[in-house]
């Protein structure tokens, strides 16, 4: 069966595309499990010519990934085009957002896959290919006689070491253009799924139903050996959570003699408590860590259920600086911020002396606890505003002033470091990139750009 996998573009949004455009790991993982099919792939973040792709490949089935809320409208538009160009093609949708919010795609595709695609996609497509009923397969949502049907929860994959290896052949034409910060090109490696913590704004633990599953260090090393690039980003949201496993991974990399550079995401409390682990990771090639510091204020951290504290933040910075590991720090601006809160956050970021930072607006992503808690307060349900740079909750300051303060903060603590980082790699020096970078920063630093989003009509 000819199967097309599509990563939609991200729609109109002020987002992270200036700092990251990574391989669509979810689709590559599904592709790894669909080895018996004839596969093709379109990454619409880099190539928008969907009609040409569909006409040239004529797939029997089309799978669309919706990992983020901002990709919903673009994903819906993809499905419309698929149905127009290939009315007989079977269509299925998956990814974090789709799995947690299947109603956004009901009636727009044949099936929405809830949960992990590696298991269900091959079973589903085998049934479709044989012309058989699939309504007894767990983990699917679809419309039947105009009514939504959910076939029941499918168990999570218990042993991630048994997963097929991801298929990077399907993304080969784009591989050189995937990047993360100054890591160009970069390969993503997933070493675990889920997280033991329960931050209210996070969809990771929700999607993984509160479970934390890990690949063993030997499997991780096997995947590192197969990575085609020098730069590797561990895609886990909390890479160091299991300290002994992390130390073993570092040890295996060191013993293997592999010379690559690594980036990951981690929590400050783990780093602060385990400086030896950080030293081992540095010796193995760890260059930088993305950390969600989130706030200068203990009370705010508690509100987010972060289960961490400002003291651990300071200590973690020291440990990482002592080991020459760069910090990419993430902070959250609460819509409830007054002018003084912006000042205090600015002061705090400066005090931490991190090499670069991202500041986002607290966003209740659909499917998270925060969304359930704040549903009645949402000022917009336009998914394009759920890009972490717009306020979809009422702001304490008038909206225009809120964005002015937000832009001022960005300009003061992040502009120079982000420009430096963007141009660290020679491959970023193309005229297109420079023009795009100037436009993007011009947009990001003007309150007007953010306000515009609030007046843009929701795509149908």
- Site residues for ligand SF4 per CB under 6 A: 195, 197-199, 202, 204-205, 237-238, 267, 292
Burial class (CB in 10 A: 0-12, 13-18, 19+), 225: exposed
Q: Tell me the closest approach of the beta carbon of residue 197 to ligand SF4, in angstroms.
A: 4
Q: Which residue, among 60, 71, 8, has the nearest Cα to 34 in the 3D structure? A: 60
- Residue 308 or 414 having the CB closest to ligand SF4: 308
Angle between helices 447-455 and 399-413 (to 10 degrees): 140
In sequence order, what are the residues at sequence separation of 6 or more whose Cβ sits closer than 8 angstroms to the Cβ of residue 82?
A: 50, 54, 62, 89, 91
Phi, psi of 212 (to 5 degrees): -120, 110
Q: Tell me the closest approach of the beta carbon of residue 153 to ligand SF4, in angstroms.
A: 21
Find out whether 44 and 8 touch, Cβ atoms under 8 Å. yes
DSSP state of 193: E
Q: Tell me the closest approach of the beta carbon of residue 269 to ligand SF4, in angstroms.
A: 10
- Residue 26 or 292 having the CB closest to ligand SF4: 292
- Residue 204 or 447 having the CB closest to ligand SF4: 204
- Residue 52 or 307 having the CB closest to ligand SF4: 307
Burial class (CB in 10 A: 0-12, 13-18, 19+), 279: middle
Q: Tell me the closest approach of the beta carbon of residue 266 to ligand SF4, in angstroms.
A: 9
Pairing of strands 326-333, 38-43: unpaired
- Residue 205 or 389 having the CB closest to ligand SF4: 205
Q: Which residue, among 318, 257, 314, 253, has the nearest Cα to 286 in the 3D structure? A: 253
Q: Tell me the closest approach of the beta carbon of residue 302 to ligand SF4, in angstroms.
A: 13
Q: Tell me the closest approach of the beta carbon of residue 234 to ligand SF4, in angstroms.
A: 13
457: left (phi over 0), alpha (psi -120 to 50) or beta: beta
Q: Which residue, among 68, 20, 59, 24, has the nearest Cα to 44 in the 3D structure? A: 24
- Residue 43 or 237 having the CB closest to ligand SF4: 237
Q: Tell me the closest approach of the beta carbon of residue 194 to ligand SF4, in angstroms.
A: 8
- Residue 180 or 207 having the CB closest to ligand SF4: 207
């Amino acid at each position: 069966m000819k199967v097309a996998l599509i990563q939609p573009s991200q729609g109109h949004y002020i987002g992270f595309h200036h700092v990251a455009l990574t391989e669509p790991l979810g689709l590559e993982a599904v592709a790894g499990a669909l080895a018996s099919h004839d596969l093709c792939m379109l990454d619409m973040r880099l190539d928008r010519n969907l009609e040409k792709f569909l006409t040239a490949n004529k797939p029997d089935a089309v799978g669309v990934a919706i990992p983020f809320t901002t990709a919903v409208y673009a994903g819906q538009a993809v499905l419309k085009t698929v149905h127009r160009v290939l009315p007989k093609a079977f269509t299925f949708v998956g990814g974090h957002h789709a799995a947690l919010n299947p109603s956004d795609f009901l009636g727009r595709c044949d099936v929405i896959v809830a949960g992990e695609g590696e298991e269900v996609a091959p079973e589903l497509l085998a049934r479709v290919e044989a012309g058989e009923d699939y309504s007894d397969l767990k983990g699917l949502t679809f419309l039947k006689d105009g009514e939504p049907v959910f076939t029941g929860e499918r168990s999570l994959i218990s042993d991630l070491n048994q997963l097929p290896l991801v298929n990077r052949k399907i993304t080969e034409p784009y591989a050189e253009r995937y990047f993360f910060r100054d890591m160009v090109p970069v390969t993503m490696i997933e070493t675990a799924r889920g997280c033991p913590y329960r931050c209210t704004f996070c969809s990771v633990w929700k999607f993984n139903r509160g479970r934390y599953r890990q690949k063993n260090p030997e499997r991780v090393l096997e995947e590192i050996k197969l990575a085609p690039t020098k730069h590797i980003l561990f895609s886990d949201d909390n890479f160091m959570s299991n300290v002994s496993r992390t130390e073993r991974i570092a040890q295996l990399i060191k013993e293997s003699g592999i010379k690559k550079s690594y980036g990951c995401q981690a929590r400050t409390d783990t780093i602060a408590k385990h400086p030896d682990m950080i030293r081992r990771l540095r010796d193995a090639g760890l260059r930088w860590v993305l950390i969600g510091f989130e706030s200068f204020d203990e009370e705010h951290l508690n509100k987010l259920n972060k289960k961490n504290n400002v003291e651990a933040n300071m200590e973690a910075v020291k440990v990482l600086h002592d080991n020459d590991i760069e910090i990419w720090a993430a902070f959250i601006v609460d819509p409830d911020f007054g002018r003084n809160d912006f000042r205090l956050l600015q002061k705090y970021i400066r005090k931490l002396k991190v090499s670069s930072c991202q500041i986002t607006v607290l966003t209740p992503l659909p499917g998270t606890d925060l969304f359930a808690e704040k549903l009645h307060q949402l000022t917009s349900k336009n998914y394009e505003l759920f890009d972490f740079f717009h306020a979809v909750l009422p702001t304490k300051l008038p909206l225009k002033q809120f964005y002015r303060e937000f832009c001022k903060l960005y300009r003061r603590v992040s502009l120079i470091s982000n420009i430096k980082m963007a141009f660290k790699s020679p491959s970023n020096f193309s005229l297109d990139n420079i023009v795009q970078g100037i436009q993007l920063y011009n947009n990001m630093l003007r309150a007007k750009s953010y306000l515009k989003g609030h007046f843009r009509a929701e795509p149908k």
